[in-house]
Structure formats: structure tokens, C-alpha cells
Amino acid sequence: MLFKMIRGVAGYFMGFGFAQLIGQSVFGSAVEMKLKVIPIVAALIALVTMAGSLPAIRMVLRLRPAEVLHGGH
């Protein structure tokens, strides 16, 4: 869990660094860091993850354990 949080924080700052580079090169100005973006992005990540997992979850829920374990068709 801690390692995931460290990766998330590192990703945030790397993304912010890239945004600074793009902001300076394209628009000639710095990008302001807004901490309120973090929970919004976290919620969007959770929604996308859940939406992407739904087809696999539905498939697993349709399986019958006895048939899977005995190799039935």
C-alpha cells in the first residue's frame, strides 16, 4: 500500500513537471499547482478502473465453481 502511494505521489510530481515544461514551451507561462485536483483525479481513476473491470467481473460471476473445478463444459 505504501509503495502504491509513493508511486502515486511520484507520478503526480512527474506529471506536474511535464505540465510545467509544456506550459513554458507552448504558452510561455507556468502552470499553477492546485491540490484540489488530487481527489478529483483519484475519483476519476477509481471510476475508470471500475468501469474497465465490469466485463471481467460479470464473466467471473457467471462461472459455476463445480464445473470449473471438475473441467466440465
pLDDT in tens, 18-70: 999 999 999 999 988 888 988 998 899 899 999 999 999 999 999 988 888 88
Q: List Cβ neighbours of 19 (8 Å cut-off, separation of 6 or more).
A: 31
CA distance 50 to 29: 36
pLDDT at residue 71, rounded to an integer = 76
Q: What is the DSSP letter of 56?
A: H
Alpha carbon 9 to chain centroid, angstroms: 13
Give the pLDDT band (50/70/90) at residue 73: low
pLDDT at residue 58, rounded to an integer = 94
pLDDT at residue 70, rounded to an integer = 85
